[in-house]
Amino acid sequence: MVFADYGARWKLMRKLASVHLLGARALADWACVRRDEAKRLVRGMAEAAAAGREVVIPEVLVCALANIVGQITVSKRDMIVSLLTGAGLFNISDFVPALARLDLQGVQAKLRRIHNKFDELITKLLAEHAATAGDRAGRPDFVDRLRAAIGVDDEDGETITEVNIKGLIFDMFTAGTDTSSIIVEWAMTEMLRNPSVMARAQEEMDRVVGRGRLLQESDIPNLPYLQAVCKEAMRLHPSTPLSLPHFSFDECDVDIPGADGYRVPANTRLLINIYAIGRDPSAWEEPERFMPERFMPGGGAERVDPLGNYFELIPFGAGRRICAGKLAGMVFVQYFLGTLVHAFEWRVPGGGEEKIDMSETFGLALPKAVPLRALVTPRLEPAAYA
């Protein structure tokens, strides 16, 4: 679905994903899964704290999110990370299409190997899933609903195939794990470098949630500063800095009020620099500064949301090809960041918050080059971790 051409088949896959997995109703059905996984994450981190062990933030987050998306263990993460890094590597063929067949840098060969490995995994997963269909009688999951749609034509005469199902599962694992964990890791990094932001977020959660239980998704609407922190992290550190490549089949003109606009030739590959948009000094005051207050009342950007309605902040893209998982992404980021900040006190080993490595690894996604490691201390009542 992510890389499919716009058309009837793409519309069908997007509809199925939205209705059964990524829409508001489907997300509500998922809530208990996210809650249980958040509890397991917090308990594991509390055990690490008791043993004096460091927590590697991206590792615990990817494990939790992968378990939510499909109960795939962290040992499979190498395929997700390799794909997201490899898909965004500089490839001379992207800029000189005539060289594509030569694959001078071996990028295409590497991605084919990763794809084949993932295809084998999903094929095995689907076979095991089919063998246990009777266990889910009356409570079909996402794959059950997709299988039920095979051979059934929609209003455009399109139907879904086994290959399409594999593609959708592939999209869910790649788009639903590392991208969300990257934002949470960057947000935690910025909060450690800005203790006043961490303190204000924890004060808000203590006031709204208290210290007798873990944060719940139903608390998030009452936590505007947490929401502002997430928006600011998405502005400064978008998980896909150049969005996904787009392609123009026909020549078109893009009008820009007050500017010359663009003429895009047919058969052109297009990249949108989301990273630069989020740091544009004409749109943002002190754009290089991590300042969640800009999204609070009176901050100047309190009405701006990251869901494609304001072009100065488009971490999920915009228009009809906006990320289908934008609502799920917001839930993941807000819920897991809030849970971690609320449940623990944080410090960098050696007390070097101001020396945290802020370098990035460029790819389709933009993770930290050096994973964030931290020591945590439980800050809630003991019963909250039970």
Residue 131, SS3?
Answer: helix
Residue 71, SS3?
Answer: coil
CA trace torsion 54, 229, 275, 173 (10° rounding): 60
Q: How far apart are CA 335 and CA 337, in angstroms?
A: 6
Q: Is 32 annotated as a binding residue?
A: no
91 C-beta neighbours (distance < 10 Å), count: 19
CA trace torsion 332, 338, 343, 345 (10° rounding): 120
CA trace torsion 286, 240, 327, 117 (10° rounding): -160
Supply the DSSP string of 269-331, one letter for each residue: EE---HHHHHT-TTTSSSTTS--GGGGSTTSS-TT--SSSSSTT--TT--GGGS-TTHHHHHH
Q: Is the separation of the CB atoms in 256 and 262 below 8 Å?
A: yes
Strand duo 55-56 + 373-378: pairing: antiparallel
Angle at which helix 326-343 crosses helix 178-193, to 10 degrees, equals 40
Cα Rg, the chain, nearest whole Å: 22
Per the annotation, where are the binding residues? 323
Per the annotation, where are the binding residues for heme? 323
